[in-house]
């Protein structure tokens, strides 16, 4: 019990707002964001499915580089994590547990396209900017005083079949509803 508590505390500490070590270092920023995405696997509950892997999908340009590939050495929900990248939209048959949408000029359009293309009720949508969560994305990364923070759209999550831990909600800015 004590070991589990320490592990959970360490995971939660990683979710606390992380300062950017170098404001101009995009690599550091996306290493932190990749860490957040991995930790979402510990604080979000997905419905049962029959996939053999836990799939993290990146739609658009991949800003993470090799830093997100490290997740493929880890597991989530007892399954190995697999990273998929889609530059020209999603494949209809590809199930994504987490869908990171990176189209800085058109995040909102990309999110709406994703919602039209497929049923995303058991996919955690993650993106950049405050507009992302305001337009229906579930979790958005925002920069506050040189710190990466997360916004959570509670209404979007309530419409999905995902459940978010109260611990994750505690460290997030809430958009759209009350937890």
Compute the distance between CA of residue 110 and CA of residue 132 in angstroms, rounded to an integer. Answer: 10
Give me the pLDDT at residue 59, please.
Answer: 85
Give me the pLDDT at residue 129, please.
Answer: 79
Give me the pLDDT at residue 177, please.
Answer: 67
CATH no. of 2-171: 3.40.50
Compute the distance between CA of residue 157 and CA of residue 161 in angstroms, rounded to an integer. Answer: 8
Instruction: Dump strand ranges (E) for 31-159.
Output: 44-45, 54-60, 75-76, 79-86, 98-102, 124-128, 139-144, 147-153
**Domain ranges within the chain, ordered by starting residue:** 2-171
Give me the pLDDT at residue 91, please.
Answer: 63
Give me the pLDDT at residue 90, please.
Answer: 60
Comparing CA positions, the residue from 89, 143, 145 lying closest to residue 114 is 89
Give me the pLDDT at residue 35, please.
Answer: 95
Element (H, E) at 12: helix 2-15
Query: In which residue ranges of the chain is pLDDT below 50?
Result: 1-24, 116-117
Give me the pLDDT at residue 52, please.
Answer: 95
Taking only the tens place, the pLDDT of each residue in 61-93 is 889 988 899 999 999 999 999 999 987 666 666
Comparing CA positions, the residue from 77, 120, 82 lying closest to residue 101 is 120
Say if CB 26 and CB 148 are below 8 A apart: no
Output the six-digit token pair for 83: 């990273």
Q: What is the pTM of this model?
A: 0.79
């Amino acid at each position: 019990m004590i070991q589990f508590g320490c592990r959970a505390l360490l995971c939660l500490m990683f979710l606390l707002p992380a300062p950017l070590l170098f404001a101009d270092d995009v690599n550091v920023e996306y290493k932190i964001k990749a860490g957040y995405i991995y930790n979402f696997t510990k604080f979000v509950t997905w419905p049962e499915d029959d996939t053999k892997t836990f799939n993290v999908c990146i739609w658009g340009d991949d800003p993470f580089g090799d830093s997100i590939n490290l997740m493929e050495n880890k597991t989530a929900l007892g399954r190995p994590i697999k990273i998929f990248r889609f530059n020209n939209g999603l494949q209809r048959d590809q199930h994504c547990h987490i869908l990171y949408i990176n189209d800085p000029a058109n995040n909102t359009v990309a999110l709406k396209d994703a919602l039209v293309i497929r049923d995303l009720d058991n996919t955690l949508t993650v993106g950049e900017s405050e507009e992302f969560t305001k337009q229906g994305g579930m979790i958005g990364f925002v920069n506050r005083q040189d710190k990466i923070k997360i916004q959570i759209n509670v209404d979007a999550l309530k419409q999905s079949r995902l459940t978010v831990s109260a611990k994750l909600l505690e460290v997030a800015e809430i958009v759209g509803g009350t937890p």
